[in-house]
Amino acid sequence: MIFAMDTEKKEIEMKVRSSQACIRDGYQLYSANFRKIFRATWWLAIGFALLAAVAQALPVLISPTLLLPASILAIVAVGLWLAAAKWRLKKLQMLPPVTLRYGSWLAHVGKLLLVSIVCLVIVAALALLTTLPTVILITANWQSQVGMLYGDPSGMPENVKWLSIAVFAIAGFIQAYVWLTMVLPMYLVKISMYMQDKEKEEFNKKTI
C-alpha cells in the first residue's frame, strides 16, 4: 500500500516538486506513516543498532587506536541500513516504483545536492540530541581509563562494559530512524526528476 499523505490519506502524487516541497512533503509523509515504517523495518533497525554499538564500543571499550576502523564501520552501517530499509519499503509497495533514465542525476544535481545538505543538517541536529547519553558515557569511560594510567582506581562499576554496549545499542536503534528521515525527501526528489524528464520527453514528441 502506497504511503498516505497527512490525515486525508492521499497517495504520493507523481508530480514535479521544488526542493522545498520535497523536503516538506517528505517529512510530513515520514511523520504521518511512522507506525507503518516502524512495523516494516524494526528488525532491520536492530541489525543497524548492533553494528552501531560495535562501532562505538571499539574505540571506547577496547582501544582509542580503533577510532578509524570504528568510523568506517559506522559509515558502512548507515549505508547498509538505508539501502535495506528502502528495499523493504519498496518490497511492501510503500514506495511507488520509479526508474530514471541514464544521466538524469547529473541533469538535476543542484536540487539533489540542496535537498541532501538540508536533510543531513536535520539528521545531524536530531542525532546530536539522541547521542547525548552516549557522549556522557563515552566521556566517563575515557576519563576512567586516563585515570587508571596514572594509578587511580577505575571509579566505574564492574558491569560498565555491558552497560555501555546496551546504551550504544539503544542509541543506535533511535538513530536508525533519525537516518531514515532522509529516505522520503530524497525519494520525492527522484519522483520529481522522473516527472520532469517525462514531461520534457512528451513535449519533445509534440514538437517533432
Q: Judge contact between 3 and 95, C-beta under 8 A.
A: yes
Q: Which three cell numbers stand for residue 153?
A: 582506581
- Find the distance separating the first CA and the last CA of the chain, reported in whole Å: 39
pTM assigned to the model: 0.82
pLDDT (tens digit, 9 = 90+) per residue, 163-190? 888 888 999 999 999 999 999 999 999 9
Q: Residue 156's pLDDT is what?
A: 62
Q: Judge contact between 57 and 162, C-beta under 8 A.
A: no
1 pLDDT higher than 60:
no
Q: For 117-140, what is the mean pLDDT?
A: 84
Q: Residue 82's pLDDT is what?
A: 96
